[in-house]
């Protein structure tokens, strides 16, 4: 029997750096619509989870599925857990796993979604995510691009905003040439039972230090399966990012 995989796109209106971001116009389509359409190319059940009636109305307007969630969630993971509970009732079925799809990547690759979803073919997989090889020094030392250390069996050992491992005896300018580093790509998969468990965990010392929620899961003994991607992502955090995207010729 094929495992049922649910795609959820958390979408908040009140973004500090870009208020109303999900409703930004990108070549005649809303950002959230572009993400939704890309996700639907891979998954047969996709919902937007929002806390804002303007987004709810917009998603319904283009024919998308949407569910309202609390305004009090601290993370997309928490919003996904509430949404999963509601969607199970709406759809009258259970889901084996959930893919948390970032709402600010209008050109997210369906192949990347498939890669995360495929991790759950292995029933030992609790959580899954993607990494991308670091190709330039700027990405290695950018604290807004978290790094991931992997085990031989493709599990995450640690995530950090710092470049890890430290390459002793080498000039920092060539670290990315001397060792294969990986940046984290923020696409998450959760086995449904695990999703409900991790949202009950308290913030630990590691997450408190690095401000990376996945460290809470590692600190509590959960295993994160990792797949590698080389595809470019085009995340939009600010109005300037959107302006640059529009100038890039992708649309």
CB 193 within 8 A of CB 85: no
- Which helix (H) or strand (E) element contains residue 247? helix 239-247
The distance from CA 127 to its chain's CA centroid, rounded to whole angstroms, is: 12
**Residues contacting 251, CB < 8 A, separation 6+:** 26, 27, 245
CA distance 55 to 24: 11
How does pLDDT run across 70-83, given as a tens digit for each residue?
999 989 999 999 99
Contact 103, 23 (CB under 8 A): no
Nearest-angstrom CA–CA distance, 158 and 3: 29
Place of tokens 């929002």: 50
pTM: 0.94
pLDDT in tens, the chain (251 residues): 578 999 999 999 987 778 899 999 998 999 999 999 999 999 999 999 999 999 999 999 999 999 999 999 989 999 999 999 999 999 999 999 999 999 888 999 999 999 999 999 999 999 999 999 999 999 999 998 999 999 999 999 999 999 999 999 999 999 999 999 999 999 999 999 999 999 999 999 999 999 999 999 999 999 999 999 998 777 887 888 888 877 777 77
For residues 46 and 39, is the Cβ–Cβ distance under 8 A?
yes
Give the number of other Cβ atoms within 10 Å of residue 188's Cβ.
24
Domain spanning 5-239, CATH architecture? Alpha-Beta Complex (3.90)
3-state DSSP assignment of residue 195: helix
**pLDDT value at position 1?**
53
CB atoms within 10 A of CB 179: 14
């Amino acid at each position: 029997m094929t495992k049922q995989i649910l795609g959820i796109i958390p979408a908040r209106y009140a973004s500090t750096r870009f208020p109303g971001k999900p409703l930004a116009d990108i070549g005649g389509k809303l950002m959230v619509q572009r993400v939704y359409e890309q996700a639907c190319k891979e998954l047969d059940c996709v919902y937007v989870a929002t806390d804002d009636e303007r987004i709810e109305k917009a998603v319904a307007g283009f024919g998308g599925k949407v569910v309202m969630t609390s305004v009090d969630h601290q993370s997309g993971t928490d919003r996904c857990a509430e949404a999963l509970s509601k969607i199970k009732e709406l759809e009258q079925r259970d889901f084996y796993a959930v893919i948390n799809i970032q709402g600010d990547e209008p050109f997210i690759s369906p192949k990347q979604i498939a890669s995360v979803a495929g991790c759950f073919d292995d029933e030992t997989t609790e959580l899954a995510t993607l990494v991308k090889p670091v190709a330039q020094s700027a990405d290695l030392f950018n604290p807004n691009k978290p790094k991931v250390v992997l085990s031989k069996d493709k599990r995450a050992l640690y995530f950090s905003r710092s470049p890890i491992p430290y390459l002793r005896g080498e000039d920092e300018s060539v670290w990315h040439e001397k060792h294969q580093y990986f940046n984290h790509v923020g696409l998450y998969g959760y086995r449904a039972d695990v999703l409900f468990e991790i949202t009950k965990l308290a913030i630990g010392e590691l997450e408190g230090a690095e401000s990376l929620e996945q460290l809470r899961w590692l600190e509590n003994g959960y295993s994160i399966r990792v797949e590698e991607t080389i595809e470019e992502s085009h995340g939009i955090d600010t109005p300037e990012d959107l302006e640059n995207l529009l100038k890039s010729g992708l649309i």
